[in-house]
Amino acid sequence: MEANPISELDKAGRRRGAALLLEVLRSEGVQYVFGNPGTTELPFIDALVDFPDIRYIWALQEASVVAMADGYAQASRRTGFVNLHTAGGLGHGFGSLWNASVSGTPLVVTAGQQDSRHAVTDPLLFGDLVGMAKQPRTAR
């Protein structure tokens, strides 16, 4: 599949963040997004309607999602793109992320973030995703 260029800024109309991300993914030749979406990912899922060349591969648990993207990336020799749901989803994916890191598998991982008001009422959905994802040392 040939990558499509990103729209020139002066020719681009107003778009939501999800559409911008999908436009970048398309321009990079991404064909599959592996994920376990929740409410924070709904705008992204909705935007996929306008990007029929990008398929969202659903799984029931984040460890499986990351493992599927890892296998795809290794078999296809392409970067895998992963979409996880909030801090809990990122936490669930860590074991498979570690395996992918040790294997040297190229993955791009995004995780939705809840409104900061959820920090009090539902702390599992809210967290410091960047802090969680930082490794104290590299796998290799």
Computed over its alpha carbons, how large is the radius of gyration of the chain? 16
Please check whether residue 62 is in contact with residue 90, taking contact to mean a CB–CB distance below 8 angstroms. Answer: yes
What is the model's pTM?
Answer: 0.77
Question: Domain 29-133 adopts which CATH fold?
Answer: Rossmann fold (3.40.50)
Per-domain residue ranges for the chain?
29-133
Which helix (H) or strand (E) element contains residue 57?
Answer: strand 55-58
| Mean pLDDT of each 10-residue bin along the chain, 140 residues long | 58 79 93 89 91 95 94 96 83 84 91 66 62 57
pLDDT confidence of residue 123 = 58
Whole-angstrom CA distances from 44 to 21, 36, 37, 113, 140 are: 9, 12, 9, 13, 33
